[in-house]
Structure formats: C-alpha cells, structure tokens
C-alpha cells in the first residue's frame, strides 16, 4: 500500500468525524495518538508501553467501554506514574511485570505502574479526545488496523505523515496552514544550505519539524550512515536536530514527525523561543525556520535581544542571527514576511544590525499564493554569521521568483522544479562565481546584485527590493474571500484574548 493510498484512506475518515464536531486539526491529533500505539505494537516494542495500555487492549473494545478506556488512556500515558488497584498490582506481580510499585503513606498502600518512556509522555502530555461517539473512534481504529503499515520502510511512513500534515494545512479555518511551509520551499532551501554531518541544526519556530526532517533526509541521501561510528550515528539521531514549538498540539505532531523519520531529538522542546525559556538556543551551525505569520504582536522577554519591539517577526530575526556560531561559517535561511524588510524605526535598526553581524549574501523573493494562509507575501533571507559584529555584508544577491509568476496552494502548486534556476545560480561554496542574469538588455532577469552602499543609503535600510515590471495582478475571487475569512478569524481570536484580559483585570 503506497503512502498516497494510506493518506487517502485515513483522511477519508476525517469527513466522517466532521459530524461528530471533530475538526481536521483535532483529527490529526487523534491519529497521532493511535498511530503511535499501533506502530509500537507492529515493531514488537510493546515493552515501551505500560501493560494494559497497548494497541491490542484498545482495539479489542467496543461501544462506551472503548471510548471510556481511550479517554483514560490519553490521561494516564502522559503521567510518570499510573494509579492501579491492589488487584491489578497483584496480577502484574504474578505475571512478572517489573514496572509496578507499592508505596505506603500513613499506613495506606498506593499502587502504581511506572511509565519510563519519555517520548510516550511527551506525545500524550495533556492529551484529550474530541471524539464523543464510540462508533467513530472504532471506525478510525479499524481503518488503522486495515493498513499494512510496515510493508513499507520508515521513510515512506514519514512521507505518509507529512502528507497528512499537508492535508491538515489545507483547512485554512483551523489555522493549521500557519505552521506548514510548502515542501518545495523547504527542499529548495535545504538544497542550497547543504547541511553536513556533525553540524547542529535548529528551528526556533519548529511547527511540525518540517525543516529538520528535510535536512535529515538530505543528509541520509548524501551520506552512507552505515559507515558512521556508533557515536556519530547517535549524534545524528539525537543531537543534530533541535527545535522549539509554542503550541502543545503542534509540538505533538512534531514529535511524531521526528519519530517516523528515525529522529529522536534531545532538544525538541515545547515553549516560547522569545522568552527566557529559549535562551538555550546558542552556538548552532545552521538555523532553518519560518517564524509564525500573523498580525499579532509579541515582545521578546529574553535578556539577549538587543532591540525592543512588539513585532514578532523582527524579534525572531534577532534571536536567529544571535543563535549562530560566530565562526564565519554558521548559516541560516529564514522565511520572512515582506513587511519585515522595510519601514523606519526599530525595524531599520535591526536590519542594519543584521547586515553588520552577518553576510546577508542572498535574498529569495517568493511568489504569492504558495501558502495555505492567503495573501502572505514572503522572502527567504540567507546569511552567514561573521566572526566579528561589523561590516560583514558587502553585497546582496536577489532572486525574484514572484514577478510574472502565479501559484495557488491547490490548483497551481509551486514545485521543487520551479527553484532549479535559483539553485544553479546560488553557487553554494563559490559565491564569487555568481553572475547576474539581470541587465539593461534583460530587465526581466531574475538574478541581480545590489552593493551594500545601495542599501544603506536608504533611510529605512529597506531590503524589499524588486525591479521586474509586471501588469497588475487579477486575483481569483475565491482567494480574496478566503483571505478575508482567515483575517476575520485572526481578529476574532485577538479580540477574545483582549476581552479575556480585561475580564481578568476587572475581576468579572
């Protein structure tokens, strides 16, 4: 059974569950819990799951017993210790179960199963189900049971899961598209960054860990992992890839995505990268990331942020270039909204700081219509951290993939092949060999160089540069309506948060 077939079969159940009030995002969370349990059983790793909480225990039930057991399972598997009865304790002891204990407090005995699996506890931390109909839960379990998951290798399973993530991102009302960067963009970025074995990589806005998964794929395709020593292999598996994700449910998806791609990241953490909790992110060789879009503002509370601003993307940009090693080799690729690259005030100061501390050698102007969140306009900044903090950028090369192009997330999708010219012109490892395709004779050439003085002479140090003239875009009415719908949902969410804070202050 191919990955596409598995995706289609599993996603068809999402429409069934819509009648149960279960959204796509919630459905994907349910799949994450259930697929994890199924995988463990298929791989003969049931000893990783506390006895009584395994796939066979769940799938053998029906009706209200099934739903009640599932609800309790989600709670218990996120704990360090699971409460059991004395009868269960004695039964486990008689059956040779090792991870059970008895403790006495004020002459009262308490009995527990010890949950030693850290990954298990992370995936099920504060987990809960949105399913209310037992028959719908049984439908999903039967669908999972009907799939021959392990006739394919783990890489294909990973592709399957990423396909489900993309399906989820298509539901713009859920907001899932905000953390889903198109795979073609990620793959093109990784291709020109060229991660190497032994390097440490970070995504401070990890989402579902897509950048790190793509980097892992690249490394496996370009290196023979069988020749690695045990120490080198363990480094690639658990230490090479790191990240931080703010939203618990998205963090769960990231953990599963990593697991299915044979990554067990020691530092994939849940938390706010812009707070003191993100201070651990220092001295990385590579940062690949797409910080969250949106009109919501957020000040950084980290002590290492130089310029204070409420602009979330500008704050992310600062922590990104400050998280790189100062060795002249550490590099980053960051997807940034257009608005970050122009405007006066603190934004201009941060861009000037970026040009000083890093060699901002390449800017890729991405097309519109490629994100599941409508109306998003973005660039990708490619830079290398300097050994000093001054005068590192001397020239910036721009590739304009937006002008004279039109894509949509579903009908006319951006493909990896659309980046081939950019990848060839990028000249990784030999930037001095770059040659412009733009000229007075060819004003629509997409590859153009700007010297640092051309940028610094602008009062706002604008990096939002483009030169190709094109006719006014005639936008599809469906895209416009979808864009307004998403913006309305965002505004409603912000108003609700403000009202919540006001009520809290007023004590009502």
Question: What are the extents of the domains in the chain?
Answer: 3-80+115-152, 156-474, 481-508
Q: What pLDDT, on the 0 to 100 scale, is given for residue 197?
A: 98
Class of domain 156-474: alpha beta
Write b or e for each residue in 118-148: b if 16 or more Cβ atoms lie within 10 A of its Cβ, otherwise e: eebebbbeebebebeebebbbbbbebbeebe
What is the β-pairing status of strands 358-365 and 395-400? parallel
Instruction: Say yes or no to pLDDT of 409 above 90.
Output: no
- Tell which wins on pLDDT, 11 or 219: 219
Contact call for residues 416 and 184 (beta carbons, < 8 A): yes
Q: Which tens digits make up the pLDDT trace of 41-81?
A: 877 778 889 999 999 999 999 999 999 999 999 999 999 99
Write b or e for each residue in 59-68: b if 16 or more Cβ atoms lie within 10 A of its Cβ, otherwise e: bebeeeebbe
Backbone torsions φ then ψ of 201, nearest 5 degrees:
-120, 150
Q: Which tens digits make up the pLDDT trace of 298-333?
A: 889 998 899 999 999 999 999 999 999 999 999 999
Instruction: Say yes or no to pLDDT of 245 above 70.
Output: yes
Q: Where does residue 352 rank: exposed (0-12), middle (13-18), buried (19+ CB within 10 A)? A: middle
* Residue 263 CB neighbours (<10 A): 21
Helix (H) or strand (E) holding 113: strand 108-114
Name beta bridge partners: 359. 384
Spatial distance between the Cα atoms of 401 and 404, rounded to a whole number of angstroms: 8
Tokens 């590099």 correspond to: 331
* Residue 90 CB neighbours (<10 A): 14
Spatial distance between the Cα atoms of 400 and 448, rounded to a whole number of angstroms: 9
Q: What pLDDT, on the 0 to 100 scale, is given for residue 23?
A: 82
Architecture of domain 3-80+115-152: Up-down Bundle (1.20)
The 8 Å CB, 24+ separation contacts for 302-309 are: 302/274, 302/275, 302/276, 302/278, 303/276, 303/279, 304/279, 305/274, 306/353, 307/346, 307/349, 307/350, 307/353, 308/346, 309/346, 309/347, 309/350
Helix (H) or strand (E) holding 312: helix 312-322
* Residue 104 CB neighbours (<10 A): 8
Q: Which tens digits make up the pLDDT trace of 463-493?
A: 999 999 876 555 566 665 655 665 565 566 5
3-class state of residue 323 by DSSP: coil
- Tell which wins on pLDDT, 225 or 5: 225
What is the chain's mean pLDDT, rounded? 89
Tokens 């122009």 correspond to: 342
């Amino acid at each position: 059974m191919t990955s596409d077939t598995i995706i289609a079969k599993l996603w068809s159940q999402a429409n069934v569950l819509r009648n149960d009030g279960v959204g796509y995002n919630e459905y994907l969370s349910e799949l994450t819990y259930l697929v994890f349990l199924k995988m463990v059983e298929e791989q003969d790793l049931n000893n990783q799951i506390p006895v009584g909480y395994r796939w066979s225990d769940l799938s053998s039930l029906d009706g209200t017993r099934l739903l009640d057991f599932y609800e309790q399972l989600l709670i218990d598997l996120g704990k360090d210790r699971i409460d059991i009865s004395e009868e269960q304790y004695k039964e486990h002891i008689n059956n040779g179960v090792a991870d059970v204990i008895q403790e006495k407090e004020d002459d009262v005995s308490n009995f527990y199963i010890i949950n030693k699996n850290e990954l298990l506890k992370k995936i099920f931390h504060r987990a809960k189900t949105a399913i209310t109909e037992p028959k719908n839960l049984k439908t999903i379990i039967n669908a999972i049971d009907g799939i021959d998951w392990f006739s394919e290798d783990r890489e294909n399973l990973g592709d399957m899961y990423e396909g489900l993530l993309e399906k989820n991102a298509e539901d713009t009302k859920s907001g899932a598209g905000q953390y889903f960067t198109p795979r073609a963009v990620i793959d093109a970025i990784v291709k020109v960054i060229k991660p190497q074995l032994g390097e440490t990589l970070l995504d401070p806005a990890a989402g579902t860990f897509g950048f790190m998964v793509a980097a892992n794929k690249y490394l496996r395709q370009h290196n023979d992992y069988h020749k690695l020593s045990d120490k080198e292999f363990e480094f690639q598996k658990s230490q090479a890839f790191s990240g931080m994700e703010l939203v618990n449910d998205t963090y769960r998806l990231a953990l599963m995505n990593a697991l299915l791609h044979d990554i067990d990241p020691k530092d994939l953490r849940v938390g706010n990268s812009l707070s003191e909790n993100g201070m651990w992110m220092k001295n990385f060789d590579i940062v690949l990331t797409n910080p969250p879009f949106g009109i919501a503002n957020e000040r950084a509370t980290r002590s290492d942020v130089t310029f204070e601003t409420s602009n979330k993307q500008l704050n992310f940009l600062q922590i990104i270039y400050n998280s790189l090693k100062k060795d002249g080799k550490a590099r980053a690729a960051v997807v940034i909204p257009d608005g970050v690259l122009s405007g006066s005030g603190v934004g201009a100061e941060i861009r000037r700081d970026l040009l000083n501390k890093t060699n901002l050698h390449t800017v890729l102007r991405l097309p519109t219509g490629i994100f599941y969140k409508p109306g998003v306009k973005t660039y990708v900044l490619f830079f290398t951290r300097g050994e000093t903090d001054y005068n590192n950028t001397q020239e910036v090369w721009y590739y304009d993939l937006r002008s004279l192009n039109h894509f949509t997330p579903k009908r006319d999708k951006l493909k990896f092949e659309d980046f081939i010219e950019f990848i060839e012109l990028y000249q990784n490892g030999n930037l001095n060999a770059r040659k412009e395709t733009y000229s007075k004779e060819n004003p629509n050439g997409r590859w153009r160089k700007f010297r640092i003085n051309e940028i610094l002479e602008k009062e706002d140090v604008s990096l939002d540069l483009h030169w190709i003239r094109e006719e006014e875009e005639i936008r599809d009415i469906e895209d416009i309506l979808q864009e307004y719908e998403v913006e309305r949902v965002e505004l409603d969410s912000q108003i609700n948060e403000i009202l919540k804070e006001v009520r809290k202050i007023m004590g009502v």
